Amino acid sequence: MSTDIPPDVREEVDRMRQALRATVRNSRLSDEEVEESLGLRAGFLNVVFSGKDELRVAHVFGILKAIGCEPRAFFCELQRGRGQAGEPDAA
């Protein structure tokens, strides 16, 4: 991972990572189902959620789309600092 990211920004990225993990858990889809729908290798979400790989904007939007969560809902909840972001849409 990159070490040139300021500590305060790193904290925000980690908070987003944890909120995204919680949102996936709340979606009732398994990590494997999300990975498959995005064409990702098995175990990818575990690597990203554990912080072993960088969380990229494309990952965030792809994961949110795969679980049916509106990005706006996720980011609004994240901004409120609740740590657990938007529920999936009722499809």
Provide the whole-model pTM.
0.80
Residues 62 and 59: their CA atoms lie apart, in Å, by 5
CATH 1.10.645.10 fits 7-80, yes or no: no
pLDDT at 62 over 70: yes
pLDDT at 84: 47
**Cβ within 8 Å of residue 89, ≥6 positions away:** 68, 69, 70
- What mean pLDDT do residues 12-27 have? 94
Q: Please state, rounded to an integer, the average pLDDT across all residues of the chain.
A: 87
Residues 58 and 73: their CA atoms lie apart, in Å, by 17
Q: Report domain extents, the chain.
A: 7-80
